[in-house]
Structure 1
Amino acid sequence: MNRTLSPLSVPYRVVERGGSIVFTAIILFSGASAAFGPTGGLVGIVLVGFVLLALVAYEVAYYRRFEYDLDADTLDIRSGVISRRNREIPIRRVQNVDISRNVVQRLLGIAAVDFETAGGSETEASLRFVEFEEAKRLQREIGRLKREGGEAEGDDETETGEYEQPTADELFTLSSRELALVGALSFDVRIPGLLFVLLSGSVPAMSSVVPPGAGPILVAVGLLTAALGILLVSWLGGAAVAVLNYYDFRLTQVEDELQYERGLLRRYDGSIPLDKVQTLTVVDDPLKRYFGYASLHIETAGYAPGDSGSEAAVPLADRERVFALANRIDPVGSPSFSRPPKRVRRRYAIRYLLALGGVVALLYGADWVTGGALPWPPYAPVPLALLAPVAAHYKWRHRGYWLGSNHAVTRNGFLRRQIKIVPYYRIQTVIDSRTVFQRRWDVATVTADTAGSRSLVGNDAAAVDVDESVADDLRAILPTRLRESLATRRGWVDEAGDARDDVPTDERDDPPSGSDSAPST
């Protein structure tokens, strides 16, 4: 049965474009007044009315010509006013169904629905807008069809004629206290860089912090005050964003699918199929580690980088609780990491010193160009050289890798540490990279590339700066573990690892295809 968008989508989409109408009205009034003199105002009103009528007519036509239909195998969408577009999206390819509603949409009872598919850098299809109950029905039905392999509607009917809803198992709920902790322990790392860019070119702004001609003590006090101010603004910004994003967060499991709800000003309601999970990532920072907290992110192949953040499974919880949930989603055990060789700490320290030297050189150049107008002396950052060995040690300490029976696990980062858990059967490519500088230290980086969305921005699981001999071993072991894992999942071998007699040899030797393809090295 063909379905259409909600009738309320017409006035909402018209109002949503109100900004462009106001801008057009200003231009039309100005142009009409200049061209027609005293009667220009009336002409401008007529032109604005014509634009408004054209917009309403277009939205009405868009609504009347937009149809969609969900059957056992595909989601069919037909749209377009001038140029028609017909899409058939196989149900098996749908990775995620996300529902979002802002405050106005919640009042109107409508919602936007996004359908994400594997391998797409953009949202595959969107419904703007349907009734919220219809959005939930689509989410439920697509999940049911995927679980049941495309069985027709009616298979789950009860004797009363109603559809039996699967049981929802609540995995995590964010309490008010935990929401406050999410805000208190959040920090927006983008704000310091943004403030530096905005203020670095403003000598008056910096002079208010460090007066020209100030002595070393005043310079140090001024820089410290500025740094504390930037940290405070970054913390407040991160806290506000976190509270708005994760208000009333809850995570449930419905059979083999995770479903979440979150958000205050904009409410997100999404689903994450467990069989489409590519990577689990445990994330923390020094403040969260000190208090024993961490976050958990679930990555599938269906999200484009920079999407609405709906991959977040748990915004904040006790570390033990986070790892327990990760093991419930995909049992990995307790990783025991092997760190890079100790000699790389010297490499990190040298790298930090060279970067600091570059900054000092730039400051001296800027001081020479401006005739000494900088509000601080060019050598001001030099004392930071004392921190280089400490930073190098912590960078080394928080790196490592671990190979479990079914997963490869990597750990990287100090200010934002990420522990990435990758099932062997999800590995797409094993990449062994060795830069000129790494070769001088006899180390390499081995990356386990997956089909996850974050891999598109170079955020894969990686064993960084491991010894060359270890890199050679990893490059040989990971493809072997992948083949063994795929053989077990496809039933080519039994749980003991022995080949089954009932599987033909030619089928056992066939290379995997699709997302389970054998890796290149």
Structure 2
Amino acid sequence: MKLSPLSVPYRVLERGGSIVFTAAILFSGASAAFGPAGGPAVVALVGLALLALIGYEVAYYRRFEYALDGDTLDIRSGVISRRNREIPLGRIQNVDISRNVVQRALGVAVVGFETAGGSETEASLRFVEFEEAKRLQGEIGRLKRGDEAEAAGEGPDTTELFALTPRELALVGALSFDARVPGLLIVLLSGSVPALSSLLPDGSRRLLLAAGVVALALGVVLVAWAAGAVVAVLNYYDFRLARIGDELQYERGLLRRYDGSIPLDKVQTLTVLDDPLKRAFGYASLRIETAGYAPGSGEGGSEAAVPLAARDRVFALANRIEAVGSPAFERPPRRVRGRYAVRYLLAVGVLVGLLYGVDRFVAGSIPWYGPAALAPLTPVAAHLKWKHRGYWLGEDHLVTRNGVLRRRIKVVPYYRIQTVIDTRTVFQRRWGVATVTADTAGSLSLTGHDAAAVDVDTATAERLRRTLDARLRTALAARRGWIDDGRPDDGASGDADDEDADDNVGTENAEAGDANGVDDDS
């Protein structure tokens, strides 16, 4: 099969723009350096470059072929050097389709194939007709499932699970903030502050300068909020999530439309996220984590299943994906609140000490004692940190909860656990507590976002570690029984956690400094 013929002019226009831009710069320089002959020479060179680009893109189109051949996706490409690739269908996690405004007008799309453990797109087709992109998305899912009924023309059942309402889309924008904007604006505007201060009268210079700095800070915050709101609305416009057979399929985006698939047998964890503002108004977000790379997402293989919705809708959707029920969390022992309070007091003391050093040796007029006013609030912060931590052992899932400013409730099926890790830092041992982490194959585990029961009693940690180990083995044995009975394979093929799973089942005990632990709200 071939790419769309429209891919040739589109790729020429896409790459030719940089050539024309460079030519415009060279034209003015050549005219000044070489006189009247310089301009025509540049135009001739640009014409040759464009002809070479057109020839290359035509050759690329003619030599690019792809095919679904049994259990593999075969791609053959290359103009100067040939490249043949065979991607086993069992390794493909997601098939994602993206289209910008121009591509939608032309009826073409980019198809990306994401594989387990990949940090980037494994392969892509640039560009095929949109109908062909949808056919590939559905056909790969059917071949992986081995569904003969679909081959005969009977498509799988489609059930819409979630659609973002206009009110929820507005809230997504209102609660978004682009953290990159403040730094950029501060760099751009920092030079204007000294220049403006020199124009002010001497008597009112400090007062007006302070007012200007405050107004500038408020302006930066407003611009960052507005930029974040626009990006969020463009990204999640017309967000929809549906279940088609054994896959979740989502659509979102205004300027660039994403159309992706998430096989249910590749889902590693579900994460419900909220913050104090969302909790106050009863809202939350839901993320689905796979072992692959998800384009357009902010966290590796994590794809937003629900960017923002009422908590009841979020938990209802989570239960339709993984029937976890209603967790009843067991919190850490009450005594760890003292540990958190000590840590916060030490942080306040360090901040006061640093400001005192700056005041003593550099500035000479900084109110270095100001952070000491936070000391009475440390018991409250310690209580909130303790309150928002906990774990729950369900019949088929481990559920953990951690964080105050960014709280994560993680749902992990037992059969997805790779390793159970018992961590006891130097400071935890003094308080008689430990952290039990359920490591999965998801890419977020690399950033310390695994499901973890933090600061549980040491006896509880031992019991929890043994229980998770036993339930993991039981869950894997039950899944093997389903496969051996001839019923559908629910995802053993292609997953690291299901291949030779007995070799991957294990427990670890680790001791490290407090900085290496996972007892962190963020």
TM bracket (short chain) = 0.7 to 0.9
Superposed CA deviations along residues 426-462 of structure 1, whole A, max 9, x for unmatched, are 0112222233333333322221111112223222111
* Paired position in structure 2 for 1:455: 445
Query: Is residue 334 from structure 1 mapped to residue 344 from structure 2 by the alignment?
Result: no
Q: Which of 247, 252, 260 is 1:257 aligned to?
A: 247
**Partners of 1:378 and 1:186 in 2: how far apart?**
33
* Paired position in structure 2 for 1:500: none
**Partners of 1:231 and 1:351 in 2: how far apart?**
30
Verify the 8 A CA contact 2:269 2:410 in the aligned structure 1: yes
* Paired position in structure 1 for 2:379: 389
**Partners of 1:198 and 1:413 in 2: how far apart?**
35
* Paired position in structure 2 for 1:323: 315
1:107-506 alignment, distance < 5 Å: 107-148=105-146, 156=150, 163-188=153-178, 204=194, 232-303=222-293, 307=297, 311-367=303-359, 371-372=363-364, 377-491=367-481
Shift of 1:200: 8.9
Shift of 1:56: 2.2
Return the letter of the residue paired with 1:172.
F
**Partners of 2:89 and 2:335 in 1: how far apart?**
51
Equivalent residue of 2:481, what SS? coil
Change (3 A) 1:265 1:305: closer
Query: Is residue 88 from structure 1 mapped to residue 74 from structure 2 by the alignment?
Result: no
Deviates more, 1:239-248 or 1:176-185: 176-185
Shift of 1:97: 0.5
Change (3 A) 1:341 1:193: farther
Return the letter of the residue paired with 2:327.
P
Superposed CA deviations along residues 14-71 of structure 1, whole A, max 9, x for unmatched, are 2222453245325644664576444222222222222222222222222221110013
Change (3 A) 1:396 1:195: farther
**Partners of 2:242 and 2:95 in 1: how far apart?**
15
- How many residue pairs get matched? 488
Equivalent residue of 1:6, what SS? coil
Verify the 8 A CA contact 1:349 1:388 in the aligned structure 2: yes
Equivalent residue of 2:428, what SS? helix
Return the letter of the residue paired with 1:478.
L
Verify the 8 A CA contact 2:142 2:150 in the aligned structure 1: no
Superposed CA deviations along residues 303-342 of structure 1, whole A, max 9, x for unmatched, are 2597467711112222122111111111111111111222
User: Taking structure 2 as the reference length, what is the TM-score of the superposition?
Assistant: 0.83
Return the letter of the residue paired with 2:73.
L
Shift of 1:227: 7.1
Return the letter of the residue paired with 1:311.
E
Shift of 1:360: 3.9
* Paired position in structure 1 for 2:499: 513
Shift of 1:104: 1.1
Deviates more, 1:71-80 or 1:29-38: 29-38
Verify the 8 A CA contact 2:98 2:109 in the aligned structure 1: yes
Q: Once the two structures are aligned, what percentage of the paired residues are identical? A: 73
Superposed CA deviations along residues 98-121 of structure 1, whole A, max 9, x for unmatched, are 101111111111111111111222
Verify the 8 A CA contact 1:427 1:482 in the aligned structure 2: yes
**Partners of 2:190 and 2:344 in 1: how far apart?**
22
Return the letter of the residue paired with 1:409.
V
Q: Which of 44, 59, 75 is 1:46 aligned to?
A: 44
**Partners of 1:514 and 1:233 in 2: how far apart?**
53
Equivalent residue of 1:428, what SS? strand
Verify the 8 A CA contact 2:297 2:304 in the aligned structure 1: no
Shift of 1:226: 7.4
**Partners of 1:194 and 1:350 in 2: how far apart?**
36
Deviates more, 1:430-439 or 1:393-402: 430-439
Change (3 A) 1:254 1:515: farther
Shift of 1:378: 3.8
* Paired position in structure 2 for 1:102: 100
Shift of 1:248: 0.8
Verify the 8 A CA contact 2:121 2:295 in the aligned structure 1: no
**Partners of 1:418 and 1:230 in 2: how far apart?**
29
Superposed CA deviations along residues 484-512 of structure 1, whole A, max 9, x for unmatched, are 11111111899xxxxxxxxxxxxxxxx96
Verify the 8 A CA contact 2:16 2:50 in the aligned structure 1: no
Deviates more, 1:137-146 or 1:428-437: 428-437
**Partners of 2:188 and 2:382 in 1: how far apart?**
29
**Partners of 1:303 and 1:262 in 2: how far apart?**
17
**Partners of 1:304 and 1:174 in 2: how far apart?**
20
Return the letter of the residue paired with 1:323.
F
Change (3 A) 1:386 1:165: same
**Partners of 2:501 and 2:182 in 1: how far apart?**
39
Shift of 1:87: 0.9
Q: Which of 53, 56, 62 is 2:54 aligned to?
A: 56
Query: Is residue 24 from structure 1 mapped to residue 22 from structure 2 by the alignment?
Result: yes
Equivalent residue of 1:405, what SS? coil
**Partners of 1:456 and 1:176 in 2: how far apart?**
35
Superposed CA deviations along residues 104-161 of structure 1, whole A, max 9, x for unmatched, are 1111111111111112222111111111111000001111111226x6xxx5466xxx
Superposed CA deviations along residues 395-446 of structure 1, whole A, max 9, x for unmatched, are 2211111111111111111121110000010011222223333333332222
* Paired position in structure 2 for 1:6: 4
Gaps of 5+ in 2: 199-203, 485-496, 509-522
**Partners of 2:109 and 2:410 in 1: how far apart?**
33
Change (3 A) 1:30 1:364: farther
Deviates more, 1:443-452 or 1:124-133: 443-452
